[in-house]
């Protein structure tokens, strides 16, 4: 008998969820935020503007010409009219969104919504308006808290971001282009998007436009799981990619703002970069890219005092694994200043633990980038055979050059070509290690290159100015 065709069982059809109940449930806790700016304008009494007054004073003082008579009394000279005090005019600055955290009037929004505002007006869905006080704003995370004088308000419920899944339906409520209580919906496109130093954003395809900033991102349980904050756009309008601040991070910031009006963060004083998969494999770190490569260590910083060196790879901070370099600023920033923590680093093929006392990050501190100062060549540089096969001519460092590059040893690249040039090595770079072998001088460098497996990429740790990085030299196949 011929085999019967097998009918595939189709997956159960799932329709688009009904967001109407969510809108009714959460909508009353979403507010419109209008910001105003005070500007000064000068006006003058009847009889002319500012130029008239100045001209009258000019003629009176320098030509002795009497002031024009008072039209109502020609024989009576008119008294000079003094400009009135500058008048304060309130002009609109912008419109954003927010949501009520507590029923006694604490409202969360974006820092950029209230930045520079002289007055903040919060409008509820029942059309009541309140002048709000800015409790605090944190530019680094773009989170702000304002307070209105009201009680018995509808407040949102905060959800668990850890349970959020990619592909899950979410909804936003806000005031795009000033259109109050506008509801849009979509799905979670990705989690942990790195678009800033301190926040792993939630990416969605929910329609977000100017005015939505500060509004809530809501899951199907009616819980707020994010603050709508940014969009990716080439036109200024929505293009299908929007970003929300995870609510757990935002609440942590909000608690500090409510307690002290500012956010205190930790710092250890390092500049970092990603570790690529090729570098991780070549130095024996593992089969996947992980950790944060220390490119430079700030002089006098907690990291320097603890013995951290440029070229180290930080793999753990206070017991937490550093999967990506961007994890480190968040872990350090969330650590209370003064806390002593254990930091695990990978250096020259081995791990070691260092104890670091976290310092306080200065408000809006800007990380300093190391310069790229070319080193002056020393006299008597001689090419080494093994190094030359990679396209390198290196020389010894003078004591002054060691101090300038902040290294204990190494060799200076005097010329570069072929494989080394293709790897990105430049003249003036200081090579401090080949693979996991530390280099003190040209002789040790030559020996390390001679021992390196030429069938695989050769990892080179170098200093360029004050920055350290790994580059891979791929030897030519002979």
Binding residues: 112, 142, 211-213
Provide long-range contacts, Cβ within 8 A and 24+ apart, for 57-63: none
Q: Are 45 and 197 in contact (CB under 8 A)?
A: no
Handedness of CA 62, 66, 69, 70 (dihedral sign): positive
Q: How far apart are CA 440 and CA 396, in angstroms?
A: 9
How many residues would you count in the chain?
478
DSSP labels, 152-205 = S---PEE--GGG--TT-EEEEEE-GGG-TTEEEEEEEEEEEEESSSS-EEEEE-
Residue 249 corresponds to which tokens in the numbers above?
A: 């991070």
Rounded (10°) CA dihedral 236, 237, 239, 241: 80
- Catalytic residues, which ones? 112, 142, 213
Q: Are 108 and 145 in contact (CB under 8 A)?
A: yes
Contacts with 437 (C-beta within 8 Å, 6 or more apart), sequence order: 348, 444, 448, 451
In the structure, how many helices (H) and strands (E) does the chain have? 11, 29
Q: Are 308 and 182 in contact (CB under 8 A)?
A: no
DSSP labels, 326-360 = THHHHHHHTSPTT-EEEEEEEETTEEEEEEEE-EE
Diameter of the chain by CA atoms? Answer: 128
Chain center to CA of 328: 13
Q: Are 275 and 315 in contact (CB under 8 A)?
A: no
Handedness of CA 291, 297, 300, 304 (dihedral sign): positive
- DSSP H helices in 334-431: 385-389, 399-405, 418-423
Q: Are 338 and 329 in contact (CB under 8 A)?
A: no
Eight-class DSSP state of 236:
S
* Binding site members for substrate: 112, 142, 211-213
């Amino acid at each position: 008998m011929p085999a019967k065709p097998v009918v595939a069982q189709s997956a159960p059809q799932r329709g688009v969820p009904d967001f109407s109940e969510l809108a009714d449930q959460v909508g009353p806790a979403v507010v419109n935020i209008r910001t105003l700016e005070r500007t000064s304008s000068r006006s003058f009494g009847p009889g002319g503007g500012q130029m008239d007054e100045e001209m009258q004073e000019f003629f009176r003082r320098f030509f002795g010409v009497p002031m024009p008579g008072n039209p109502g009394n020609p024989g009576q000279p008119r008294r000079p009219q003094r400009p009135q005090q500058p008048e304060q005019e309130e002009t609109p600055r912008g419109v954003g969104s927010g949501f009520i955290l507590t029923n006694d009037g604490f409202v969360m929004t974006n820092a950029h919504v209230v930045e520079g505002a002289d007055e903040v007006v919060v409008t509820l869905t029942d059309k009541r308006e309140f002048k709000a006080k800015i409790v605090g704003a944190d530019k680094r995370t773009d989170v702000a808290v304002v307070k209105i004088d009201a009680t018995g308000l509808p407040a949102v419920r905060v959800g668990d971001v850890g349970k959020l899944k990619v592909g899950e339906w979410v909804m936003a409520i806000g005031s795009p282009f000033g259109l109050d209580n506008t509801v849009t919906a979509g799905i979670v496109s990705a989690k942990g998007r790195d678009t800033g130093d301190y926040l792993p954003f939630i990416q969605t395809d929910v329609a977000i436009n100017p005015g939505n900033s500060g509004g809530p991102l809501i899951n199907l349980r009616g819980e707020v799981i994010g603050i709508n904050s940014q969009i990716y756009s080439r036109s200024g309008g929505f293009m299908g990619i929007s970003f929300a601040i995870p609510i757990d991070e935002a609440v942590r910031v909000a608690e500090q703002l409510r307690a002290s009006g500012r956010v205190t963060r930790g710092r250890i004083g390092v500049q970092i970069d990603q570790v690529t998969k090729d570098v991780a494999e070549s130095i024996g770190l593992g089969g996947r890219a992980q950790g944060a490569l220390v490119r430079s260590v700030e002089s006098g910083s907690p990291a320097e005092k603890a013995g951290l060196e440029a070229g180290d790879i930080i793999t753990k901070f206070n017991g937490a694994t550093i999967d990506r370099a961007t994890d480190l600023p968040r872990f350090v920033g969330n650590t209370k200043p003064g806390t002593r923590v254990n930091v695990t680093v990978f250096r020259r093929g081995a791990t070691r633990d260092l104890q670091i006392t976290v310092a306080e990050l200065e408000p809006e501190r800007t990380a300093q980038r190391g310069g790229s100062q070319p080193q002056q060549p020393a006299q008597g540089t001689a090419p080494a055979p093994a190094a030359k096969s990679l396209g390198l001519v290196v020389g010894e460092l003078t004591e002054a050059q060691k101090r300038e590059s902040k290294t204990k040893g190494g060799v200076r690249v005097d010329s570069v070509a072929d494989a080394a040039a293709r790897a990105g090595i430049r003249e003036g770079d200081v090579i401090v290690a080949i693979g996991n072998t530390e280099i003190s001088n040209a002789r040790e460098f030559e020996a390390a290159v001679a021992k390196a497996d030429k069938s695989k990429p050769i990892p080179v740790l170098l200093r360029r100015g004050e920055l350290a990085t790994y580059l891979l030299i791929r030897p030519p196949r002979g």
